[in-house]
Amino acid sequence: MMDSFDPSASSLGEDVDPAVMHELLQIRSSIDNFDATLVYVLAERFRATQRVGVLKAEHRLPPADPTRESMQIARLRRLAEEAHLDPAFAEKFLTFIIEEVIRHHQAISDGTSPLPVIPRPGATTDVRGTADADTRA
């Protein structure tokens, strides 16, 4: 992929010890891989939640499911504790993502989604739950 990402770009001054700089760049290369993974993982999660959004809109279900969210948050907090990640941060992060998902679901149901909405194969209603006009007859 062509982009202008320079992994050695830094605002740290010229006077950083070269050995320290070398170690820093090695660690940063790992951070860059993690960041790329995060983007791919998030893209796959949004792809899945987009399908949920279409399914909900087709069946006139509400965009949010607070009971499911509480279970997910409690589970993620437990996982975070086991992984020595701050559970408060894990909760904040998941809540941030879920809020965005719910916004997408609302937009799908309103028909204002900027994302291409691919109807499920065999769906007999459009995404707003209105019956399809059958144009095949």
Please tell me whether residue 52 binds ligand ISJ under the rule CB under 6 A: yes
Using CB under 6 A as the binding rule, whether residue 127 contacts ligand ISJ is answered as: no
Helix H or strand E segment including 90: helix 87-110
- Show the tokens assigned to 121: 């194969």
Q: Which one of 2-10, 98-106, 111-119, 121-129 is the stretch in contact with ligand ISJ (CB under 6 A)?
A: 98-106
DSSP state of 2: -
Q: Which stretch binds ligand ISJ (CB under 6 A): 8-16, 61-69, 75-83, 117-125?
A: 61-69
Tokens at 96, concatenated: 């941030």
> Is residue 49 at the binding interface for ligand ISJ, with CB under 6 A as the rule?
yes
Q: Decide: is 91 part of the binding site for ligand ISJ (CB under 6 A).
A: no
Chain center to CA of 1: 22
Q: How many CA atoms lie within 13 A of 107 on its CB side?
A: 14
Exactly one of 59, 60, 68, 92 binds ligand ISJ (CB under 6 A); which one? Answer: 68
Please state, in angstroms and rounded to a whole number, the distance separating the CA atoms of residues 103 and 105: 5
Please provide the size of the chain in residues: 137
Asked if 80 touches ligand ISJ (CB under 6 A), the answer is no
Q: How far is the CB of 39 from ligand ISJ (least distance, A)?
A: 17
